[in-house]
Structure 1
Amino acid sequence: MTTALPAIVTPEEWQAAREALLVKEKRLTKAMDAVSAERRRLPMVAFDKEYEFDGRHGKAALLDVFEGRKQLIVYHFMLHPGSDHLCPGCSLVLDNMGHPAHLHARDTTLAVIAPAPLPEAEAVKKRMGWTVPWYSSDGTDFTEDCGVGTGFGVSVFLRDGDRVFRTYFTTGRGGDQLDTTLRYLDLTPMGRQEDWEESGRGRDDPASSWWRPHDEY
């Protein structure tokens, strides 16, 4: 495949083109800030049902998953009981989860909850080197109650004393926003090298088809 390279221009022409794009980037940033503000103003719904998860320290209720903090972000991982399929998209997201201290400084806990029994999850965590807190919802209705089905998603919860409320949920392309690998690739001339992009540079693989657990590349 012949790669179509960007046009070669003078430094002055490059700077002019960069500044023209920067106007659009700033406009997009402000639009995203406005959406984030609207997200913060969303109403919330009570999550009063009692769930019993299996975690690293034994049985845990949803309130325990907060680890005493005010906010909780749950990544619903696609790992189901008895399945040997390790979702490459979910794996990519977990590989991009940073040090938890930064979230903790803002009174926020990040945890993974999956339907698979905890021993199956622990084997996956050991293989991939993940240290994020992980809970099994096996035997509960938590995944269904969150509307995740057999897929993945992200739920946000807020604690008011001993009461728990759900404030937000996203799935699908909403997961892109959590994946710094994709964000970095979006900065490059070749992009993600997927067939939905307009660049025509590099490979043109179907969307997400190249994703692998990091030990399978």
Structure 2
Amino acid sequence: MDIASSGSHPVISREEWLKQRRTLLALEKEETRLRDKVRAARQALPWVKVDKEYLFDTPTGRRPLADLFDGRSQLMIYHFMFGPDWDAGCPGCSFMSDHMDGALPHLNNHDVTYVAVSRAPLDKIEAYKKRMGWRFPWVSSYGSDFNFDFHVSFTPEELAGETIRYNFTDIPREMGHDELPGLSAFYKNAAGEVFHTYSSYARGGEELCATLMILDRAPLGRNETSTLSFVKRHDEYEEKPQGSSCCH
């Protein structure tokens, strides 16, 4: 067995590589079957009727949650970290959002509306959205309980305690922030009733990021020192000469 001159990774014969690759393939198939099982359990999850009224500032005026469906029966809301006093949106949420515009026509054709929601005022949202060049709908929940009720925003009183409630459990306050990310799903029936069907937090939305899925298959993987440590807003990366390496 040789060691690659570019690092400490083993270099082996094609025959031995195929043997190990088939072993990995069996594990990947197991992962796929488990993902199918999780998906089925997710679809079978009971729903909760949303009786509380939530209002959002949109480019066409103040609208209730039911209006965000935009004529479709399913609504996916991305809880985008952008607080009222922030100057820009969260880099990690921005990274995720870079993947959404191309998905919009496919989601819409499948009776699904996608909307980002933040507590930042609408004018800040609109300015940042223009800077990033995004097209997906993005509204403000400023002045609403929506973010707090879905446990992605936290009051000063909550942040003063020892723990906060996030990702369906109590986590140490120091692991939290005044804003945190998440994804929530809703359904509206023919009578106009709205139901909360699913929410996911923390790393639960990673599969929405195609970049991560590609990096997971690249030779050096994510090459991160902590979760998403390599991520910047897409207009903040230093341009690198073609063919240069990001690793030294």
Structure 1 and Structure 2 fold alike (TM over 0.5): yes
- Structure 1 unaligned blocks of 5 or more: 195-204
* Cα distance, 1:3–1:10 mapped onto 2, change above 3 Å: closer
The percentage of aligned residue pairs carrying the same residue is: 45
Say whether 1:158 aligns with 2:187: yes
Give the CA deviation at 1:46. 1.0
Counterpart of 1:105, as a letter, is: N
Whether the 8 Å contact between 2:72 and 2:113 is mirrored in structure 1 is yes
Structure 1 segment 114-153 matched on structure 2, within 5 A: 114-149=118-153, 150-153=179-182
Query: Which of 15, 19, 26 is residue 22 of structure 2 equivalent to?
Result: 19
Distance 2:32 2:105 in 1: 26
Q: Is the 8 A contact 2:56 2:142 kept in 1?
A: yes
* Residue of structure 2 in register with 1:201 after alignment: none
Cα distance between partner residues in 2 of 1:6 and 1:147: 43
Cα deviation for residue 177 of structure 1 reads 1.9
Partner of 1:202: none
Corresponding residue SS for 1:99: helix
Q: Counterpart in 2 of 1:187?
A: 217
Deviates more, 1:82-91 or 1:62-71: 82-91
Q: Does 1:54 align with 2:57?
A: yes
Q: Which amino acid aligns with 1:67?
A: D
User: Partners in 2 of 1:116 and 1:37 — Cα distance?
Assistant: 35
Q: For residue 99 of structure 1, what is the aligned residue in structure 2?
A: 103
Partner of 2:114: 110
Higher relative contact order (CA 8 A, sep 6+): 1
Please, what is the CA RMSD of the aligned residues? 1.5
Structure 1: how far apart are the matches of 2:83 and 2:59?
Answer: 18
CA contact (8 A) 1:86 1:213 kept: no
Please say if residues 88 and 128 of structure 2, whose CA atoms lie closer than 8 Å, have aligned partners that are also in contact.
no
Partner of 2:84: 81
